[in-house]
A and B are shown apart, each in its own frame.
Chain A
Amino acid sequence: MIRRLLTLIRKELLLLARDPQSRRLLLLPVILQGFLFPFAATLEVKNSTLAIFNQDGGAASVEIAQRLSQAKAFPTVLLLHSQQELRRVVDTQSALLVLQIPADFSRSIAGRKIANIQAIIDGRRSNSAQIVFGYAQEIIAGYVDEIARNHGQMAPSSIVIRHAYNPNLEYRWFTLPSLVAITATLGSLIVTALSVAREREQGTLEQLLVSPLTSGLIIVGKVVPAILVSLLQATLLTLIAVFIFGIPHQGSVALLYLGLLCYSASLAGFGIFISSLCATQQQAFLGVFSFMVPAIMLSGFIAPVENMPHALQFVALANPLRHFLPIIKGVFLKNFGFADSWPGLWPLLLIACVTLSLGYWMFQRRTSV
């Protein structure tokens, strides 16, 4: 029986390697995700433009304006001279943030009163704008501290904040492990989703069904190559992440592969389900696409799961990627051990059992009708 299984697995892998269409399908995501997305997919704010409308001419305002201009966070600073200019700059999205310094600013500072600065934030890009606002606040706070010290006052203390696992808050340290997971997703789903449908289209499925192979064996013969391919792709992307992008790799390799294994298995079952259900490869492809896009959106890859409404968070529990992302980030960044991964692993195993059973059931239904 093992020999027959090995024959099946070998055939699937050969087909994938020989078919130019499959090769493209499997190689392209790795390239895109290794070399394009890490650069494109970032919620960081860089290269943003700050505009300053200084209605006051005093020393304090000029000092603040200078500090802001020299800050690395703002490579481009526009100096505005009128309200209309301000309006235009915001409307046309020429600046993400405008700081309006009122005419009585320096006087307030000198008189030790609370001085105001208006920050006009472009709500069209609220997330980025808020981040930029934070940078501005920091710089201004630094200035305030200096004044306090100059006046011999106790500068208010500031909290020392430590960012665990990612001290410099490098966005890529978040993105790349997630992309490893997404690559594994694509590999596993696409290979299984196409496998049954393609054999049906080509007519070879009948030959398999008429042979002594059981449905279970045929399915295992499709799931195993899918898992292998997805592991291979994930490995490639991990190597790119570690050696080209310098992402740390704290946790154990064994745990990484264990997680990948459970994850790919859960997806492979789903792929078999779709593939058995659909009559053609193209339908199967669309089916996979319709599942994958929501799955990625609702997994925590773009926005955290805890930000979702509770009902959707509940739904997301059925999404294997949602359970796998913490594991993979943990293995890369947090030196996860087995005990740490377990809360994510057991749902994956459960989902894998469910999807593989569903896949088996659908395959049986559609082939031995």
Chain B
Amino acid sequence: MSDPADPAAIDVEVKGLVKHFPPNPAPALDHIDARIRRGMITGLVGPDGAGKTTLLRLIAGLLKPSAGELRVFALDPVGNPGGLRGRVGYMPQKFGLYEDLSVIENLTLYADLRGVTGATRMESFRTLLSFSDLAKFTHRPAGKLSGGMKQKLGLACVLLGAPELLLLDEPSVGVDPISRRELWKMVTTLAERGLSVVWSTSYLDEAERCGEVFLLNHGKLVYGGPPADIVNRLADRAKQIRGIVAGRRTVLQRALRSPEVMDGVIQGNNVRLVLREAGRPPDLSALEAGPDAQIVPVKARLEDAFIDLLGGGPGGDSELAKRMSPRAVDAGAGTAAVISAENLTRSFGSFTATDHVSFEVKRGEIFGLLGPNGAGKSTTFKMLCGLLKPSSGSATVMGIDLRSDASRARQRLGYMAQKFSLYGNLGVAQNLEFYSGIYGLTGRRQRSKIAEMVEVFELQPYADSIPDGMPLGYKQRLALACALMHDPDVLFLDEPTSGVDPVSRREFWNHINGVVQKGVTVMVTTHFMDEAEYCDRIGLIYRGQMIASGSPDELKRACTSPEQPDPTMEDAFITLIERQPPQAGSSAA
């Protein structure tokens, strides 16, 4: 074994790796070259379907390469599994835990399987339980742990037997930001001790903190190397337009139309741009941002580099929004809230999922519900769509009380479920026909609407496919089309961009921005802190309660401190959580 302190030691070598999964003609991995070095965290980055899990499984020896070379500690994982047993620890998605078994039973099982016995076991358990902060929960069934705790338990199980290489498959997905940071700290400590860690993620901010990253998209390697290298290339191209008086979305659209701009997103009250060339900003006056607007340089991010490598972001115009007619304002509605929640509460037995949540959303606003999985945002969200009945409190949409009269509201609601529930075996046209049909569209109107959607969302190339065979970005488009065909006034989007590549995400938000300008009110949930910036106002949900609400900038300002002069949304969230009084005897830690 080579010197553990040698930083240049390469533990995993990947050359020209190809993996096919017949009958799929496109390869899951297409000629990947990569290397994992000792003593650092290597990020495997990309959207869903990029090939991250496939690559991890190949390294773990669970799949056989179709072509190319793969060496782990200079051995072939498929040809020589014995040589690698015990040296590689693999934590799959969903953490590989047995939900019916308690924490200690899971640990004991993995200890037995990895040959950790006797005094070593006692010592390891002690260390791991304190490391993962699970010492108080040894007898709780793994299924009843919170997301963060499961993640740490999963890691603890993998660390039994002291492997030299750790493969972590999306370990931080959907987990609350505090747990995410704790996990990152744990893994960094491990790397410093000489472990090699592969951390796969679709969060680009995590990727930026890795020693090296390998960016994958549709099975191809877009970039491999230290993140700083590509980020630095864009150093002078990241700008922010500040001091916009009103209509930042329109400003963004105009900016995206100008040839100097490669990519742009909304950031709170500002617009963040990435220029095609440093030193050639767009013409500020043409953007009509207002007299006080100025262009200010900001720090470039890995996401900018990724988009740059993918060829640039989409334009800002939404074909969909162009064709949409403006929503009529309800007479007398004025500035009344379109969506309103008042002391909304929902309990399941003794567990309160949503605890006295109140907020309002005005016409034409985008309101975001933010929070980790299990915090209660889905429950709150479902009550506002009419899918769940509140235990107490009221949920009102367009003035209609959903508790008593939900059916009246439904014709004017649009809904996009998590994971884009489409009928996987029915074709694109059939899905569109179905969803328009159940909302009452018939005959010519139905046909023309469907044709419009196919055109607007550019679904033509997949017209004969079934959703199961489509890339995720296209599924997302189809799902949005299905939600919009009946011209709803309010749109509910449940984690609409999870797992999607950044370019598709921007396109999606272009559409949303577009429809909002026509008067549609949008409520969105997400666990991507960055998406919060695209909303007009957000509500932070943690442990069933709304711990803060307001515009993204307001919340960030509230969390600014000397140590944290320029907090991100995630920093703000963590600060706000830490300001919460500790809960006594929490059941879901």
Let me know if chains A and B touch directly in the complex, using CB atoms closer than 8 Å.
Answer: yes
Give chain A's interface residues, CB within 8 Å of chain B.
Answer: 3-4, 6-8, 10-11, 14-15, 18-19, 202-214, 368-369
Q: How far is the CA of A10 from the CA of B426 in the complex (A)?
A: 11
For window 424-473 of chain B, which residues contact chain A by CB distance below 8 Å? 424-426, 430, 433-435, 437-440, 442, 466
Known contacts A3-B442, A210-B413: does B430 contact A203 (CB below 8 Å)?
Answer: no
B415 contacts which chain A residues (CB < 8 A)?
206-207, 210-211
Select A18's contact among B388, B426, B482, beta carbons within 8 Å. B426
Do B426 and A202 touch across chains, with their CB atoms under 8 A apart? no
Helix, strand, loop or mixed for chain B's interface?
A: loop
Do B426 and A15 touch across chains, with their CB atoms under 8 A apart? yes
B410 contacts which chain A residues (CB < 8 A)?
210-212
B134 close to A (CB within 8 Å):
no
Do A8 and B385 touch across chains, with their CB atoms under 8 A apart? no
A213 contacts which chain B residues (CB < 8 A)?
438
Q: How far is the CA of A204 from the CA of B439 in the complex (A)?
A: 15
CB distance from B425 to the nearest CB of A (A): 4
Known contacts A202-B424, A204-B422: does B439 contact A212 (CB below 8 Å)?
Answer: yes
Q: How far is the CA of A368 from the CA of B430 in the complex (A)?
A: 27
18 contacts between A and B (CB under 8 A): A3-B442, A6-B437, A7-B437, A8-B438, A14-B426, A15-B425, A18-B425, A202-B421, A202-B424, A203-B417, A205-B421, A206-B387, A208-B438, A210-B386, A210-B413, A212-B407, A212-B439, A368-B387
B64 close to A (CB within 8 Å):
no
Known contacts A8-B438, A213-B438, A369-B388: does B417 contact A207 (CB below 8 Å)?
Answer: yes
Do A7 and B387 touch across chains, with their CB atoms under 8 A apart? no
Nearest A-chain residue to B408, judged by Cβ: A212
Do A214 and B407 touch across chains, with their CB atoms under 8 A apart? yes
A15 contacts which chain B residues (CB < 8 A)?
423, 425-426
Helix, strand, loop or mixed for chain A's interface?
A: helix
A203 contacts which chain B residues (CB < 8 A)?
417-419, 421
B389 close to A (CB within 8 Å):
yes
B411 contacts which chain A residues (CB < 8 A)?
212
Select B389's contact among A202, A207, A369, beta carbons within 8 Å. A369
Nearest B-chain residue to A210, judged by Cβ: B415
A211 contacts which chain B residues (CB < 8 A)?
410, 415, 438-439
Interface size range of chain B in the complex:
20 to 34
Quick one: CB contact mask for B112-136 with A, threshold 8 Å, 1 for yes?
A: 0000000000000000000000000
Known: A207-B417, A212-B440. 15 other contacts (CB 8 A): A8-B438, A10-B437, A203-B421, A204-B422, A204-B423, A205-B421, A206-B387, A210-B385, A210-B415, A211-B410, A211-B439, A212-B407, A212-B411, A214-B407, A368-B388
Nearest B-chain residue to A7, judged by Cβ: B437
Select B387's contact among A11, A14, A210, A214, beta carbons within 8 Å. A210
A8 contacts which chain B residues (CB < 8 A)?
438
A214 contacts which chain B residues (CB < 8 A)?
407
Q: How far is the CA of A335 from the CA of B82 in the complex (A)?
A: 73
Nearest B-chain residue to A6, judged by Cβ: B437
Q: How far is the CA of A304 from the CA of B300 in the complex (A)?
A: 82
Do B435 and A207 touch across chains, with their CB atoms under 8 A apart? yes
Do A4 and B440 touch across chains, with their CB atoms under 8 A apart? yes
The 3 closest A-B pairs by CB, nearest first: A7-B437, A203-B421, A210-B415
Nearest B-chain residue to A217, judged by Cβ: B438
Q: How far is the CA of A110 from the CA of B371 in the complex (A)?
A: 104
Do B421 and A204 touch across chains, with their CB atoms under 8 A apart? yes
Do B426 and A11 touch across chains, with their CB atoms under 8 A apart? yes
Select B433's contact among A7, A209, A369, beta carbons within 8 Å. A7
Q: How far is the CA of A111 from the CA of B171 in the complex (A)?
A: 99
Nearest B-chain residue to A205, judged by Cβ: B421
Q: How far is the CA of A11 from the CA of B430 in the complex (A)?
A: 8
A209 contacts which chain B residues (CB < 8 A)?
386-387
